[in-house]
A and B are shown apart, each in its own frame.
Chain A
Amino acid sequence: MSELLLTTFAAVLIAAGCLFFLAGTIGLLRLPDFYCRLHATTKCDAVGAVLILLGVALIAGADTQTVRIVALIALIAISSPTAGHALARAGWHAGHRPWTREENDEPE
């Protein structure tokens, strides 16, 4: 019974993670400029990846696999905003001006 409960919980976590990944992908494709796309990808990727990895860790149980998954969760939680910041800064210093509503009446 408890195993069924655990699997269900893991399935919910993985499904939620997939939803966030999907939102990140749609955001990457739909939002009007590079800075807005970074908003979508950094947040949704970090949350989606952490949720899916938590779900997988529940399925894997106490194992040598779990240690690696926990290390990966820490890695992604730290690296996702860092990479996002590095790319935003790179674009900013390379002179890419952000999209604003005044200049473009309709978002694409």
Chain B
Amino acid sequence: MSGLLWGAVLFLLVNAFACLGRAILGPTLPDRVTAANVIGTKTVVVLVLLGVALNQVIWLDVALVYGLLSLTVSLVVGRLIETGRLKGLEEES
């Protein structure tokens, strides 16, 4: 059973590195952010798998916070690409 969890962890890590290839290749900025977002989702799942495999509940808390931060990063960087800035309302520009 724990072998199953470790296998999934290994598989997802290999996947995450493949996604890193897209982050490096680009070619556009949204491509790279998409790749980063995908790696973030994989990281959350890997954290949960490791938390259950090692019986460490705190890893799941880390996964929760990581998931929220990953979403925030995507929203903020998306906004930065879209408007070119981080603060203020869209209507002001």
Q: Do chains A and B touch in the complex (CB under 8 A)?
A: yes
Among B1, B4, B5, B41, the residue within 8 A (CB) of A45 is B41
Q: Establish whether residues A86 and B78, one from each chain, have CB atoms under 8 Å apart when the complex forms.
A: yes
Q: Does B85 lie at the interface of the complex (its beta carbon under 8 Å from any beta carbon of A)?
A: no
A-B contact pairs, 24 of them (CB 8 A): A7-B1, A21-B45, A24-B15, A34-B28, A34-B31, A37-B31, A41-B37, A45-B38, A52-B49, A53-B48, A56-B5, A56-B49, A56-B52, A68-B57, A72-B63, A75-B67, A79-B67, A80-B41, A83-B75, A88-B30, A89-B78, A90-B77, A93-B81, A94-B81
**CA A27 to CA B11, docked complex, whole Å:** 16
Q: With A25-B19, A52-B45, A94-B81 known to touch, is A71 a contact of B34 (CB < 8 Å)?
A: no
Interface size class of A (residues with CB under 8 A): 35 or more
Q: Does B86 lie at the interface of the complex (its beta carbon under 8 Å from any beta carbon of A)?
A: no
Q: Establish whether residues A75 and B68, one from each chain, have CB atoms under 8 Å apart when the complex forms.
A: yes
Among A49, A56, A83, A94, the residue within 8 A (CB) of B74 is A83
Which secondary structure dominates chain B's binding surface? Answer: helix
**CA A38 to CA B33, docked complex, whole Å:** 11
Q: With A25-B18, A90-B79 known to touch, is A75 a contact of B64 (CB < 8 Å)?
A: yes
Q: Establish whether residues B52 and A38, one from each chain, have CB atoms under 8 Å apart when the complex forms.
A: no
Interface size class of B (residues with CB under 8 A): 35 or more
- Beyond known contacts A90-B82, A91-B28, A94-B82: 11 more, CB 8 A cutoff: A24-B38, A28-B34, A41-B38, A72-B48, A72-B60, A76-B44, A76-B67, A83-B74, A87-B81, A89-B82, A91-B30
| Total cross-chain contacts (CB, 8 A) | 138
**CA A88 to CA B70, docked complex, whole Å:** 16
Q: Establish whether residues A90 and B42, one from each chain, have CB atoms under 8 Å apart when the complex forms.
A: no
Residues from chain B with Cβ under 8 Å of A69 in the complex: 48, 60
What sequence of 0s and 1s flags, for each residue 79-108 of chain A, a beta carbon within 8 Å of any chain B beta carbon?
110110011111101101000000000000
Residues from chain A with Cβ under 8 Å of B37 in the complex: 41, 83, 87
